[in-house]
Structure 1
Amino acid sequence: MTFVIALPCVDVKDKACLDECPLDCIYEGERMLYIQPDECIDCGACEPVCPVEAIFFEDDTPAEWQHFTTVNAEFFADLGAPGGSAKLGSIGRDHPIVAALPPQGA
C-alpha cells in the first residue's frame, strides 16, 4: 500500500507535502504532484499538511478518484524509482489523464 495524490492537487501544487516527506518521494509534474509508490513508506507525514486534502492512503481514496492510484504509479513508468525528488526537480510533464483535464479551480 501507499499514499496517493488525487484530483484536488491538479493546478494547485501547494508543495507543503514536499517539505514533510522524510523520503523525498513526492515528485513535481507540470500540473500536480505525484507519490512514487515504490519509495513511499506509508508514514503519512504528507497527508495532514495538504491544504486541499488531495492525499489519501491508497485504500481510503474516494471511489471517484481511485484511478489516481494508477495515475501516480504510471507517472513513474519511465523514471523508475529515482531515489529522491530533490535530485530531479520538476519533471515538466504529467500523466496523460492529468494533462487532458480541463483547468481546475477558479
Structure 2
Amino acid sequence: MSVIEQLASLVERLYKETAGYIDNPADAQIWYNRGYANGVARFLSDRGYKQALQKIPLDDLNIHSKEQIMAWHKAYHHGFEMGARESSEVLPAVS
C-alpha cells in the first residue's frame, strides 16, 4: 500500500471513529482526531491527491475555520495542524 493510500485509509478510519463528534464537545480527543483527519485530507487535496479520498464523504475542510475560542475548537485546530504537518513529513514535496 502506498503512502497516499495509507493516509487516505487513516482519514477514513478516523472519520468512522469520530462520527457524531460535533454533538460531543466534552470529548476534546474526538475533536482532535477529526481535526487530524481533516488536516490529512487538506494536505492530500492540496498536493493533488483528491482522487485518493473520493470514497470518503469529507467535511467542508473549512468547517471550523472561524471557531477557535472553545476548548474543543482548539483541539480540532491543533489536530488539523498536526495532521497536515505529519503528512508532509511522511510524504515530502517532490521537486
Task: Please say whether Structure 1 and Structure 2 have the same fold, judged by a TM-score greater than 0.5.
Answer: no
Quick check: which one's helix share is greater? 2
CA radius of gyration, larger in: 2
